Amino acid sequence: MINYAEIRAHLRQPLYETLQSSIILTMQNNIYALQNYEFIRISGADRISFLQGQLSCNTDLLCAGRSLPGALCNLKGRVIADFRLVEHNEDIIMQCAAGMADKIHATLSKYAVFSKVELSQLQGKDNSAPVALGIIGRGIFEALSILNLDLPKSNDGVSSSATSKVVRVSGLSERIEIWMHTKAAAEQLLATLEEEKTDDIEPWLRADIEAGIVHVTPNLSEEFTPQLLNYDLSGLIDFKKGCYTGQEIVARMFYRGTAKRRLQLASSSQSISKSSKVVARASEDSGEDILAFSNTGGTDHLLLAVLPIPVADSRKRITLSDNAESDVCIRALPYMTG
């Protein structure tokens, strides 16, 4: 049996003229137009069984009131992409990071010919893709009241209406995503909220970092196993569901392997740049790549990086590679506590 205590110890086109440039709609900076996603529709009689054989999540559990986060892996057990599945009428909508829809579509299409299933990418320019808005904390219940929807009771829960779906997502602060089915419905919601627009999406991305979430973008695709990204701990892998592509390797690492490296949340005393890496003072290498970072918290600069457990667990000083005066401190991840 895996020792969880030990692991924890170590460890689009314009509204689409209006929303295109990563526009954020603020209610004291907490309502965001999420342009960092793409969408794929999976339809057909075999849609559930087809995805069950390809993805790390148990698609038999997908229902109107529950979304499923998961991963698509290659034969070597490396993560091609992460995603969220939401049921919509007779279809399944897959949400993925920007730039990943083409690769997911191409990967799944190789196997789709053997099933009664159809895959199609949804586009903003033809109004087929949902218009996704994110809300953190204050403002959630005003938006829900306008939509006449209840807050889902748990993370990954879904509330639905004729014009929208609301998905509750994890984070240190309460937050939701609203998927408006049409541009007109999104414009009506925004007009009712009467919010000022900005172009800063960083607070939403920071909330992902605080939650220990790394979305696989094109430059990260097929670089990491689920274990390295903590997907086995954060709920993206179902180890009871049976076979899927890469499952044998993923399961072997989970049940028989001892994690030597893990995704870690850390804070830095100095601001982080795109060229920054994480280094231990006594380390001889050039440092570990930073997968995501945020400088939006004043002096509280956050980062996510895959680090050797001895480095993360030691008391030796950790710094940024491009700033010897910085101090990097490992912080607890929400799904590794308690």
* pLDDT score at 127: 74
CATH topology of domain 4-210: Gyrase A; domain 2 (3.30.1360)
Q: What is the pLDDT along the chain (338 residues), one digit of tens a residue?
A: 334 344 344 433 333 333 333 333 433 447 788 989 999 999 999 999 999 999 999 999 999 999 999 999 999 999 999 999 999 999 999 999 999 999 999 999 999 999 999 999 998 777 789 999 999 988 899 999 999 999 999 999 999 999 999 999 999 999 999 999 998 998 888 888 876 444 578 899 999 999 999 999 999 999 999 999 999 999 999 999 999 999 999 999 888 878 899 999 999 999 999 999 999 865 556 799 999 999 987 788 999 999 998 887 787 899 999 999 999 999 999 998 75
**pLDDT value of residue 312:** 78
pLDDT at 298: 78
> Could you give the C-alpha distances from 95 to 29, 45, 177, in angstroms and in order?
24, 20, 11
Q: Parse the chain into domains and list their residue ranges.
A: 4-210, 260-336
> Tell me, what's the pLDDT at 314?
80
Q: What is the pLDDT of residue 284?
A: 56
Alpha-carbon distance of 335 to 326, in angstroms, equals: 27
Please tell me the predicted confidence (pLDDT) of residue 12. 33
Q: What span, in angstroms and rounded, lies between the C-alpha atoms of 270 and 69?
A: 33
Q: What is the pLDDT of residue 282?
A: 57
Q: Which residues pair with 87 in a beta bridge?
A: 92
pLDDT of residue 285: 67
Question: For residue 243, what pLDDT is reported?
Answer: 96
Query: How many other C-beta atoms can be found within 10 angstroms of the C-beta atom of residue 177?
Result: 23
Residues 15, 187: contact at Cβ < 8 Å? yes
99: left (phi over 0), alpha (psi -120 to 50) or beta: left
- Mark residue 199 as left, alpha or beta (left: phi above 0; alpha: psi -120 to 50; beta: remaining): alpha
Per-residue model confidence (pLDDT) at position 315: 79
pLDDT at 190: 85
> How many residues in the chain?
338
Q: Kindly report the CATH number that applies to the domain delimited by 260-336.
A: 2.40.30
